[in-house]
Amino acid sequence: MSVWRTKSIKDLMQEARDNEKLKRSIGTPELIALGVGAIIGSGIFVLTGVAAANYAGPALVFSFILSGITAGLAALVYAEMAAMIPVAGSAYTYAYASLGEIIAWIIGWNLILEYMVASGAVAAGWSGYFTDMLSSVGISLPAALVNSPAGGGLVNLPAILITALMTLLAIIGTTTSATTNKIIVAVKILVILAFLVLGIPRVNPANWRPFLPFGIPGVIHGAAIIFFAYIGFDAVSTAAEEVRHPNKDLPRGIIGSLAISTLLYIAVTIVLTGLVSYTQLNTPSPVTTGLLAAGVRSASLIVGIGALAGLTSVLLVTIFAQSRVFMAMGRDGLLPSFFARVHPRYHTPMLTTIVVGAFIALIGGFLPINIIAELANVGTLSAFFIVSLGVLILRRTRPDLERPFKVPFMPWTSLVTMAFALYLFFNLPRLTWIRFAIWMALGLMVYFAYSRHHSVLARVEPSPLPQPNPRPFSPLRPFFISCPALAPLFLRLRLPWRRK
């Protein structure tokens, strides 16, 4: 059985139609809210100040522009794939159609890092902001119930409760969760606009000098650091089978949400560095620092409401997105079939959503999030790289496919996206690579022990004809046997030591 077998786009589309149990109920406004909800979390209230203080100074605005352009290129790539293959699963499905089953499995496995592990960190962060807001009004929760065992407590109960609530909303229905998300995103944007309205009249242009304290290298380094503020727009593509007009609405949702988020990041950066010197922004709450320096006494309350709204929307969207990826993998047989079941009343993958919510609750409630959350970046970068490569491959192998949206300036758009993803990956901490290698080894064990044999394609794949002559001996044969995913590539090479 070949691990490089691909699934035709025609089959993917037909399966989506045959299994049309999800309700097509959302359009462009809901998709944009979904993207903004996933992109803008507490990072806009934290990352802007930290990056300005340590990397770029007031010139961080150029870092956001540079990073936004790069994320925009990735968004264009996603938009072409989403319009061409409007099927649930996002990067996992695109890889299955273009690069093969083993790559699709690796991407699906890595998306767990991007969505589920990161969601646990978000839930724990939500608990921290919620506890701080209660403390500001004189209400103190028992330390044992707001800290994980690693933090000296018994359980992070608020993290578990907010995860349970968001899981329930994701189960009840796509329309309900999309409407709720729009309300939360509206609150978040209103808080950001309130910060801008309060801050603009109090800006002191003297704080923008020096404008380039770390030089051009600082701007580039800052762009690499704050690039992760843009991750999340790919969650829009996971809703493909619940969109009324996916060919048009998906590209609009992906590009629109990224454009809005970029403008908000730039505006907050300009105002924040104008309120206070960048040297004073290396704090856990730089926006609060800026507002307090400008004389706004209610700064903590404003930032707290915005951060809670931001984290809530991120949690809801990531639960939604991860359950759709699992559903697609279950439908393909790479995961047990119950992951693909859709509730007849709610028209959502109910059991899958419950499983996702339970794992997120366990991570947020009991595990030390600061260590495992770093792995979320690896999942995102691998997805960006694979989707960009998939677009290049399909442009060459299937030029006949209908493309409602086409990426401009190809192949350079994909190549630049891939190059930037690799640059960021190799700038991650070495310890993150080690953890990622362990995670990948575990994923490959699951694939070769279960998924490869239960794949839907494996059931219809014809048995190979017996070969009368054994393959000639190669000194690298033991290596190939130990790495079955790489064997088909290398065993076909004309190696100099092979007998003729």
**SS (HEC) of 11-48:** HHHHHHHHCCCCCCCECHHHHHHHHHHHHCCCHHHHHH
In a domain, 488, yes or no: no
Write b or e for each residue in 421-432: b if 16 or more Cβ atoms lie within 10 A of its Cβ, otherwise e: beebbeeeeeee
pLDDT band at 442 (very low <50, low <70, confident <90, very high): very high
In a domain, 260, yes or no: yes
CATH of the domain at 159: 1.20.1740.10
57 and 212 Cβ atoms separated by less than 8 Å: yes
In a domain, 386, yes or no: yes
pLDDT band at 461 (very low <50, low <70, confident <90, very high): low
Tell me the one-letter amino acid at 480: F
User: Does residue 463 have a pLDDT over 80?
Assistant: no
**Residue predicted with more confidence, 56 or 12:** 56
In a domain, 499, yes or no: no
58 and 278 Cβ atoms separated by less than 8 Å: yes
Question: Coil, helix or strand for 359?
Answer: helix
- pLDDT tens figures, 239-284: 777 788 888 888 888 889 889 988 998 998 999 899 888 888 877 6
In a domain, 170, yes or no: yes
Does the global pTM surpass 0.75?
Answer: yes
User: Does residue 293 have a pLDDT over 60?
Assistant: yes
Give CA–CA dist 190/185, Å, rounded.
8
Identify the CA nearest to 464 among candidates 488, 432, 496, 485: 488
User: Does residue 146 have a pLDDT over 50?
Assistant: yes
pLDDT given at position 370: 53
User: Does residue 482 have a pLDDT over 60?
Assistant: no
- Looking at the 3D structure of the chain, how many domains does it have? 1
In a domain, 469, yes or no: no
Q: How buried is 111 (Cβ within 10 angstroms: 0-12 exposed, 13-18 middle, 19+ buried)?
A: buried
37 and 181 Cβ atoms separated by less than 8 Å: yes
Instruction: Identify each DSSP E strand in 108-248 by its residue range.
Output: none
In a domain, 334, yes or no: yes
Mean pLDDT computed over every residue of the chain: 79
Per residue, what are the HEC states of 108-138? HHHHHHHHHHHHHHHHHHHHHHHHHHHHHCC
- Boundaries of domain holding 330: 9-461
Give CA–CA dist 159/138, Å, rounded.
20
pLDDT given at position 58: 92
User: Does residue 453 have a pLDDT over 50?
Assistant: yes
Q: What angle do CA 433, 82, 167 make, to 5 degrees?
A: 70
Average pLDDT of span 223-230? 75
In a domain, 480, yes or no: no
